[in-house]
Amino acid sequence: MPLNDRTVKIYVCGLTPQSHIHVGHARTFVVFDVFRRLLEFKGFGLIFVQNFTDIDDKIITRAKELGVHPSEVAEKYIIEYFDVMDKLNVRRAHLYPRVTEHIQDIIEFIKGLIEKGHAYESKGDVYFQVNTFPNYGRLSKQKISDLIAGARVEPNENKRNPEDFALWKKAKLEEPGWNSPWGKGRPGWHIECSAMTKKYLGETFDIHGGGQDLIFPHHENEIAQSESLTGKEPARYWMHVGWVTMGKTKMSKSLGNVVNLVELLQKVDANAVRLALISTHYRSPMEFDEDALSQAEANMSRLRNTFTVVKQGLEKAGSTEPTSITMTLEALFASLTASLEQDLDTPKALTNLFEIAKTLNRSVNENTASKSDLETGLRILRHISEIFGFSLETEEGNVRIEELIKLVLELREEARRRKDFETADQIRLKLAEIGILVEDANSGPRWFYKNKASIAHQ
C-alpha cells in the first residue's frame, strides 16, 4: 500500500533535451505509462512527477555547436518530446519541473547539506563528501574502495576525495549561471532530483523510477543527498528499466546506434511500437530490430482484427445468456491483471491477451458465443486497451468506411444467393487488392485488414 492511503507518489527521471528522443528513452516512458495506467485502473490515486534536465554540459555543448542559447536547444527537444509521447499515447505527468525553474530550491538544499557537514565549498564549486554517508553504494551494491580502484570517479584538485561529486558548479565564461552563496554557477546533475522530489512529493515517497543506467551514479547520489539532509529514505521502491540493445549492444547516442523516434513513427504504427517496447520484461535488456518490430506489427494486427470480429459477431449473435466462454474470458483477464501486479510482468500478461483474442476469434467463427459472451469480450478488450495504452477501436473518421465495407459484403452475399459466384469472387479479390480480407465463416462473412497501412484506419 502507498504511504498516503490510496494515492501513489511516483517520480521518474526524465529527459535531458539536447537531441532527438530515441527508442531507448521511449521504453522507459512507455513502461511507466503502463504502470500508472494499471494503478489507475485498480482505483489508486496518483501524483506523477517527471523532470526535465534543461541545463547541463551536453546542452551547453550542443548550443555552442548550433550558435544558439542553451534554452533554445532545451525548448526545441522538449516540444519534440511531447509530440512523440502524444503519438505513443503516453499520458502526461501531473508535473514536469525543470532545473532552471528550481534554482533557489536547489540552493537551499545544498545549504542544508553544508550545514549538516555533508558538503563543502571549494573555489566556487560545492561537493558532496561521500565518506560522510556510510550507506553509500547500497542501491548499486558497490563499495567506495571499489569505485576508486575501478577508476569510476573523476579526479579533481578541488575535491577533498576523488569519489566526491558536484552539487554546484562554478560558471565558466559565456556559460549560463545563477547567483548563489558560492558565486555564480549552476547545479550539478544529481541534486536537481533530490530537490524536486522533496518539494513535490515530500521527504519520502512511494516509487522512484528511471533507466537502468541511472542506478549509478545518479540514483545512488540522490539517496546520499536526500537521506543526509532529511534522515529518511527518499523512495520506498526503485524501478529501473533495462536498456534497449541493437546487435546486443546498448543503444546510446555516443555509439551512434540510436533509432530516432520521430522518423520511426513516420513509418510504423505507434501502437505497434508500444507493443514492441513492452514485449520484454521491463527489467531485462530488450533487443530492438526489424524482427521485433515486424512481430509487434503482426500482433497488433491480430488484436485489432479480433476487436472488429467481435463487433461484427455481436450484430449476429442470438442468445443473450452467458456461456462458459464468459467464464474463460474473465479468468484470462484476471490472470492478465495478476501478472501485471507481479512486478509488471508484461510478457506474461500479453500471453493472456493473445489467449483472450484466440478464444474470441474461435467462438465467433464457430458461432458458439452468445451476445453476453461477446459483450464481455468487448468490455475486456477495452479494459486491456486502457491498461496497455493501445488503440484498438475504429477511429470516428473511419466509421463510414466500415459501413461501406458492410454494404459491399451485403452485395456479395446477394450475388452468392443468386449463385453468381463469379461476381462474388471478383468482389472478394477487389477487396483483397485494397487490403481487406474476407473470410466465409459459419456465422457469415467476416472482414479484416491485412497490412499495416490499412490497420492504421481501423
Give, for 312, the enclosing helix (H) or strand (E).
helix 290-316
Whether omega for the bond prior to residue 217 falls within 30 degrees of 0, making it cis, is: yes
Q: What is the pLDDT of residue 439?
A: 78
Give, for 261, the enclosing helix (H) or strand (E).
helix 261-264
- Those residues whose C-beta lies under 8 Å from the C-beta of residue 173, and which sit 6 or more positions away, are none
Please determine, for residue 289, whether its predicted confidence score (pLDDT) is greater than 60: yes
Q: Helix, strand, or coil here: 168?
A: strand
Q: What are phi and psi of 455, to 5 degrees?
A: -60, -30
Q: How far apart are CA 146 and CA 152, in angstroms?
A: 8
Give, for 301, the enclosing helix (H) or strand (E).
helix 290-316
CATH number belonging to domain 299-388: 1.20.120
Contact 234, 204 (CB under 8 A): yes
The secondary structure of the chain in percent helix, strand, coil, rounded to multiples of 5, reads 50, 15, 35
Write the CA distances from 71 to 97, 103, 347, integer angstroms. 15, 15, 40
What is the residue-wise DSSP string for 324-358? Answer: HHHHHHHHHHHHHHHHHHTT--HHHHHHHHHHHHH
Q: How far apart are CA 67 and CA 69, in angstroms?
A: 7
What is the residue-wise DSSP string for 187-214? Answer: E-TTHHHHHHHHHHH-SSEEEEEEEGGG
- 107 versus 440: the higher-pLDDT residue is 107
CA dihedral 75, 76, 77, 82 (to 10 degrees): 80
Classify each residue of 411-428 as buried b or exposed e, where b means 16 or more C-beta atoms within 10 Å of its C-beta. Answer: ebeebbeeeeeeebeebb
Please determine, for residue 432, whether its predicted confidence score (pLDDT) is greater than 70: yes
H/E/C letters for each residue in 357-418? HHHHHHHHHCCCCCHHHHHHHHHHHHHHHHHHCCCCCCCHHHHHHHHHHHHHHHHHHHHHHC
Please determine, for residue 456, whether its predicted confidence score (pLDDT) is greater than 70: no
Rounded to 5°, angle at Cα 32 from 351 and 303: 35
7-101+190-277 CATH pick, 3.40.50.620, 1.50.10.10, 3.30.2350.10, 3.40.50.300: 3.40.50.620
309: DSSP letter: H
Please determine, for residue 248, whether its predicted confidence score (pLDDT) is greater than 60: yes
Please determine, for residue 5, whether its predicted confidence score (pLDDT) is greater than 90: no
Contact 231, 272 (CB under 8 A): no
Please determine, for residue 452, whether its predicted confidence score (pLDDT) is greater than 50: no
* Mean pLDDT score of the chain: 90
Amino acid type, 312: Q
Choose the weakest-confidence range: 28-32, 238-242, 317-321.
317-321
Q: What is the pLDDT of residue 56?
A: 94
Domain boundaries in the chain? Answer: 7-101+190-277, 117-187, 299-388, 396-455
- Those residues whose C-beta lies under 8 Å from the C-beta of residue 338, and which sit 6 or more positions away, are none
Please determine, for residue 249, whether its predicted confidence score (pLDDT) is greater than 80: no
Please determine, for residue 358, whether its predicted confidence score (pLDDT) is greater than 50: yes
With pLDDT > 90 as the criterion, what percentage of the chain qualifies? Answer: 71
